[in-house]
Amino acid sequence: MQTHELIAHPAHPASRVTGVEARIIGRDAKWLRLRWRIAGGGALVVPPFAGRGRADELWRSTCFELFLKPQGGEGYCELNLSPSERWAAYDFDSYREGMRERPFPPEPSCTMRQGSSFAIFDAAIPAAGLPDADCAMGLSCVLEETGGATSYWALCQPDRAPDFHDPACFTAQLAAPIPA
């Protein structure tokens, strides 16, 4: 699967993180598997385990995000995944309009491994909660580091403030799942 280099927003530089790669590990009729690799991730602030379950405002600390916009439409979905194992899923009718919780049975699962020089975040997302179509995709993350630096990483960065919802950030493609 293809690896995507994420770019830090220039107005919010990282302190020790030197790069982020995101990739689709696999997709089938039941699961979408994603991985983010953070170079210099040894200084990340990792939210403590909180047990699986929905939670809002996960982006206020280290969080990994997926945006999917089915081809030919204005609507899109957003998934936020925290190392705490909390998650959120939302639908939007158009750019930041019509936000509502996206139904998501069963829950996504995720794990974070952190070493002194890098960190790996893996997520397994049930296909039942995702669009069943070819989609434009945005991959992003918010990385909080010890010492207070917070950086915002995405496939593309608009010139203004960080905005993962910006249509310019949906630069990758995710093919519809292969039927079982």
Distance, in Å, from the CA atom of 57 to the CA atom of 39, rounded to the nearest integer, reads 25
Give the E-state strand segments of 13-108 in sequence order: 19-27, 31-39, 53-54, 63-70, 76-81, 86-92, 100-101
Element (H, E) at 163: none
**pLDDT value of position 180:** 63
Question: According to DSSP H, which parts of the chain are helical?
Answer: none
**pLDDT value of position 158:** 82
Report domain extents, the chain.
3-174
- Which amino acid is residue 154, in one-letter code? A
Q: Domain 3-174 adopts which CATH fold? A: Immunoglobulin-like (2.60.40)
**pLDDT value of position 9:** 97
- Which amino acid is residue 47, in one-letter code? P
User: For every one of its 180 residues, what pLDDT tens digit does the chain have, with 9 covering 90 and above?
Assistant: 689 999 999 999 999 999 999 999 998 889 999 999 999 999 999 999 998 999 999 999 999 999 999 998 899 999 999 999 999 999 999 999 999 999 988 999 999 999 989 999 999 999 999 998 899 999 999 999 999 999 999 999 987 899 999 999 999 999 987 776
The three-state secondary structure class of 42 is helix
**pLDDT value of position 57:** 95
Assess contact for 120 and 141: CB atoms under 8 A.
no
Distance, in Å, from the CA atom of 72 to the CA atom of 42, rounded to the nearest integer, reads 41
Q: Which two tokens stand for residue 39?
A: 């170079």
